[in-house]
A and B are shown apart, each in its own frame.
Chain A
């Protein structure tokens, strides 16, 4: 059935080139999880509403349930597995900015891109970015504290 539409593609994920065979209709989320075993990106709604599947494509956070894998050929994909001991991860740990942890990879990817690209972000900008993810355990105040601490550090070092 769908085998006729499968094709091989090279994806650049977390700095490594990966060869995968996927349907043209497969989302990036599906390929990351089922073909590459990168289960950090989570399915939450498959509708772009919750942000749990957020990954970076050329540095921009996208909802990987809303993008086809084939669209990312030639682009640089970063998933939560590609972040190692970054300030935002440390801040999430120290501020207890997670509980069940399911939305956490998506939130961190979004917050990481924000702190990397917009160190001067004001409250409105922070809200504009982070309101695309839903966290159901925390009050968001913990996440806000984590993000603002990283932004403060970034401004200090720049």
Chain B
């Protein structure tokens, strides 16, 4: 009925008429505004902060500095909400000015005088690991941490994940051919067009009301309670629609500042809103990486060993970068069957802006390293690049790097994806073709896979309330960050209750006091977890409807069915009671009544997940793996090193497609983001590790007209635990794009391109043998 149709999104008309509201659209007279004072240095001792002049300006209500605040962090508490004693990255918050208007606050912020003593800064993770490198966290050994985080005191290592599967020595012994390659890229940004925003108000009765542009409203509530000792029941977090997130709004940062600001002005409402420049470097960014991959294979192309070292650039604070580095380790080999695996994945501190999830959560990064090595291996073997991938494609019966045994439900059909990609790309026709003296066309491919690595006890709840006409409201903690998940939930509920999807309403915004918790809207887990909860809630509602109808119709509940706005007898649908007559209780002709409003409840928690073993990595981090095969076709100009991306392909096994147009949008949007990251996005750092381009004029995402033609198809291997068999689909289109683009360009330019972004200058430098410094 509703499943499998391109149902128009429930938020569509609000969004095309300008009526959709985001956190910063809610203004109140008398609300105060905060402006951040940020560090111009990447690493410096704070010698003094003089706030006198700023404080004396009219309209200024408070200036807050970092003294006496608790350290924060989800896995490892290493970050003061406002820098204290020293700053560790360019853009770090050193003070917060609260004033009547933003103009007042900005003027005062400019007058806060901070005396710094610059310290040596370190940018690359490999440099940060060297003996004698500046130590970024001297007190690393004393920080509070959770039991599965392993910082290495007196180094810049925040965490190390080890994967030890099989016997790596035996793997090398069985290998006829060995290749080794290294890749690298610097941090970049999410660039959600809505910059982050948070407001806070503390009421006299102790209630703390936060509004936030966030993927994690429920985590904000928990963390403010943990960090500041507030009663968790007193904290209420609102999240309206969110204007793009891509992982960047999963961490909790500005919300803490808004809370501190409100506290400093007697609980008055204060808004903290990032300017673009702050959103790009002060708030957390997309992680950077240096990686080395060594693969061994038999001469007929079966991979026998993989040795992988990931050095993630976690930046100045570990935040969620620890989790990202762990997730990359979990799926370190890519979707290939390799029995002997050794991987160390390090989350390394540097003096860069701190990193946090980016759509794909470590997987496009991991794939860039592995898939470049796969192309190299194919070349050395003299084997077709598609053939090598097809031969080693992971299948049911194989195990993952963390030794999870795959079956027909928990992994998609990668061979089917590869077979279809080969046809769509006309792979066998040509892979490199010279059009004229300067113009070359080339194709590159990559595989992709991903499971989620969210907390093993993360849960999701859904409430269904009925309206007097029998229509239904869906209330879920999934944040509408653009993915359309709430529309999908409406489809799931409509299908289950056999009703028109137009009679299912969704509550778009979140209020943590009245909305059931969805842990965080991350990891392509919304449809699976909230979908399961919605199905359970629908079942609960059906039970209640049948119980009342059973009295009204004088029939056993076992003989009843719900659907089409009625509860009816299974063997004689002409005998029924309309849902609208029992949705708020049933009233007998004599005035007696039974029942009451139907309220369906459901929840879901992921099953049988375990943390990774510290020494071997063995463990089950996620419920299922979505797999895909992706490719690009480019046209390269050998004279000026420019290129055009002509076509981008993806064949992804997302299980049952619940809403085709929405699913295509997720895949293509993710691919676009992956190509933008791969082709042009990076922060540029000077030799003091300061960011030179924190603006959209100098940091330039892909724009209209630069987009290739997107060709996307889905394979539908059901995941039997998931609602109607759907798999995670929000991130996977991105994962293969950087590697596929690098593989195509390396082939076109006839030089290995192992760095991102793939700008013409990089290709030129590599062609010239790195004899030119960058300009």
For A44, give the chain B residue with the smallest CB separation: B193
- Quick check: is A61 within 8 A (CB to CB) of the other chain? no
- Quick check: is B662 within 8 A (CB to CB) of the other chain? yes
B704 and A143 form a contact (CB under 8 A): yes
From the candidates A1, A102, A134, A141, name the one contacting B59 in the complex (CB within 8 A): A1
A40 and B18 form a contact (CB under 8 A): yes
The 8 A CB mask of B552-578 against A (1 = contact, 0 = none) is: 000000000000000000000000000
For B675, give the chain A residue with the smallest CB separation: A139
The 8 A CB mask of B484-513 against A (1 = contact, 0 = none) is: 100000000000000000000000000000
- Distance A109 CA – B190 CA, assembled complex (angstroms): 25
A142 and B668 form a contact (CB under 8 A): yes
B704 and A98 form a contact (CB under 8 A): no
From the candidates B58, B104, B246, name the one contacting A136 in the complex (CB within 8 A): B246
Docked complex: B705-732 residues within 8 A CB-CB of A: 705-707, 709-710
B709 and A141 form a contact (CB under 8 A): yes
- Distance A144 CA – B709 CA, assembled complex (angstroms): 11
- Quick check: is B594 within 8 A (CB to CB) of the other chain? no
From the candidates B8, B193, B671, name the one contacting A139 in the complex (CB within 8 A): B671
B8 and A94 form a contact (CB under 8 A): yes
Docked complex: A39-69 residues within 8 A CB-CB of B: 39-47, 49-50, 52
- Distance A45 CA – B694 CA, assembled complex (angstroms): 11
Interface-side segment among B20-28, B127-135, B463-471, B752-760: B20-28
- Quick check: is A151 within 8 A (CB to CB) of the other chain? no
B668 and A138 form a contact (CB under 8 A): yes
The 8 A CB mask of B339-363 against A (1 = contact, 0 = none) is: 0000000000000000000000000
A39 and B482 form a contact (CB under 8 A): no
Q: Which residues of A contact B15 (CB under 8 A)?
A: 98, 101, 104
**Min CB distance, A49 to chain B, in Å?**
4
- Distance A93 CA – B14 CA, assembled complex (angstroms): 10
A134 and B701 form a contact (CB under 8 A): yes
- Distance A31 CA – B369 CA, assembled complex (angstroms): 49
For A89, give the chain B residue with the smallest CB separation: B16
Using a Cβ–Cβ cut-off of 8 Å, how many residues does chain A contribute to the interface with B? 54
- Distance A99 CA – B181 CA, assembled complex (angstroms): 38
- Quick check: is B697 within 8 A (CB to CB) of the other chain? yes
**Min CB distance, A151 to chain B, in Å?**
15
Q: Which residues of B contact A44 (CB under 8 A)?
A: 193-195, 276, 696
From the candidates A94, A100, A140, A142, name the one contacting B244 in the complex (CB within 8 A): A100
Beyond A81-B17, A100-B481, A141-B668, whether A49 also contacts B697 by CB under 8 A is yes
A2 and B103 form a contact (CB under 8 A): yes
Beyond A81-B17, A98-B16, whether A127 also contacts B705 by CB under 8 A is yes
Q: Which residues of B contact A79 (CB under 8 A)?
A: 18
Docked complex: B263-312 residues within 8 A CB-CB of A: 275-276
Using a Cβ–Cβ cut-off of 8 Å, how many residues does chain B contribute to the interface with A? 61
Query: Chain A CB within 10 Å — which of B58, B193, B668 has the most?
Result: B193
B661 and A96 form a contact (CB under 8 A): yes
**Min CB distance, A4 to chain B, in Å?**
12
B482 and A96 form a contact (CB under 8 A): no
- Quick check: is B547 within 8 A (CB to CB) of the other chain? no
Q: Which residues of A contact B671 (CB under 8 A)?
A: 139
Beyond A100-B242, A139-B672, A140-B672, whether A93 also contacts B12 by CB under 8 A is yes
Q: Which residues of A contact B6 (CB under 8 A)?
A: 96
- Quick check: is A28 within 8 A (CB to CB) of the other chain? no
Docked complex: B310-333 residues within 8 A CB-CB of A: none
Q: Which residues of A contact B638 (CB under 8 A)?
A: none
B194 and A40 form a contact (CB under 8 A): no
From the candidates B16, B241, B661, name the one contacting A100 in the complex (CB within 8 A): B241
- Quick check: is A131 within 8 A (CB to CB) of the other chain? yes
- Quick check: is B62 within 8 A (CB to CB) of the other chain? no
- Distance A102 CA – B23 CA, assembled complex (angstroms): 11
B696 and A47 form a contact (CB under 8 A): yes
- Distance A101 CA – B15 CA, assembled complex (angstroms): 5
- Quick check: is B227 within 8 A (CB to CB) of the other chain? no
B9 and A96 form a contact (CB under 8 A): yes
B707 and A139 form a contact (CB under 8 A): yes
- Quick check: is A7 within 8 A (CB to CB) of the other chain? no
Docked complex: A122-140 residues within 8 A CB-CB of B: 123, 126-127, 130-131, 133-140
Q: Which residues of B contact A105 (CB under 8 A)?
A: 18
**Min CB distance, A132 to chain B, in Å?**
8
A99 and B484 form a contact (CB under 8 A): yes
- Distance A43 CA – B24 CA, assembled complex (angstroms): 9
Docked complex: B67-113 residues within 8 A CB-CB of A: 103-104
Query: Chain B CB within 10 Å — which of A34, A44, A137, A138 has the most?
Result: A137
A131 and B665 form a contact (CB under 8 A): no
Docked complex: A77-97 residues within 8 A CB-CB of B: 79-81, 83-84, 89, 92-96
- Distance A137 CA – B242 CA, assembled complex (angstroms): 12
A45 and B276 form a contact (CB under 8 A): yes
The 8 A CB mask of A107-129 against B (1 = contact, 0 = none) is: 01000000000000001001100
- Quick check: is A12 within 8 A (CB to CB) of the other chain? no
- Distance A130 CA – B707 CA, assembled complex (angstroms): 12
The 8 A CB mask of B674-698 against A (1 = contact, 0 = none) is: 0000000000000000000001110
- Distance A135 CA – B483 CA, assembled complex (angstroms): 14
- Distance A110 CA – B9 CA, assembled complex (angstroms): 22
Q: Which residues of A contact B192 (CB under 8 A)?
A: 100, 102, 136
For B192, give the chain A residue with the smallest CB separation: A136
A136 and B276 form a contact (CB under 8 A): no
**Min CB distance, B315 to chain A, in Å?**
21
**Min CB distance, A78 to chain B, in Å?**
11
From the candidates A38, A92, A126, A138, name the one contacting B665 in the complex (CB within 8 A): A138
Q: Which residues of B contact A33 (CB under 8 A)?
A: 25, 27
B18 and A102 form a contact (CB under 8 A): no
From the candidates B195, B665, B695, B707, name the one contacting A96 in the complex (CB within 8 A): B665
A50 and B193 form a contact (CB under 8 A): yes
- Quick check: is B669 within 8 A (CB to CB) of the other chain? yes
B701 and A1 form a contact (CB under 8 A): no
- Quick check: is B11 within 8 A (CB to CB) of the other chain? yes
Q: Which residues of A contact B194 (CB under 8 A)?
A: 42, 44, 100, 102
Q: Which residues of B contact A143 (CB under 8 A)?
A: 704
- Distance A142 CA – B664 CA, assembled complex (angstroms): 10
**Min CB distance, A43 to chain B, in Å?**
7
Q: Which residues of A contact B13 (CB under 8 A)?
A: 93
Beyond A40-B18, A131-B703, A136-B191, whether A98 also contacts B12 by CB under 8 A is yes
- Quick check: is B19 within 8 A (CB to CB) of the other chain? yes
From the candidates A50, A89, A139, A140, name the one contacting B696 in the complex (CB within 8 A): A50
Q: Which residues of A contact B254 (CB under 8 A)?
A: none
Sorted nearest first, the 3 A-B pairs with minimum C-beta distance are A40-B18, A102-B243, A100-B482
**6 further contact pairs, Cβ within 8 A, besides A49-B695, A100-B244, A126-B705:** A89-B16, A89-B17, A101-B20, A103-B243, A131-B703, A136-B701
Can you give 27 A-B contacts (C-beta < 8 A)? A34-B27, A42-B193, A44-B696, A45-B696, A46-B276, A47-B696, A49-B696, A50-B696, A52-B193, A93-B13, A98-B12, A99-B669, A100-B245, A102-B192, A102-B244, A104-B15, A104-B20, A126-B705, A134-B191, A136-B190, A136-B673, A136-B701, A138-B669, A139-B669, A140-B707, A142-B668, A144-B707
By a beta-carbon cutoff of 8 Å, the part of chain B in contact with chain A is 6, 8-9, 11-22, 24-25, 27, 58-59, 103-104, 190-195, 241-246, 275-276, 481-484, 661-662, 664-665, 668-669, 671-673, 695-697, 701-707, 709-710
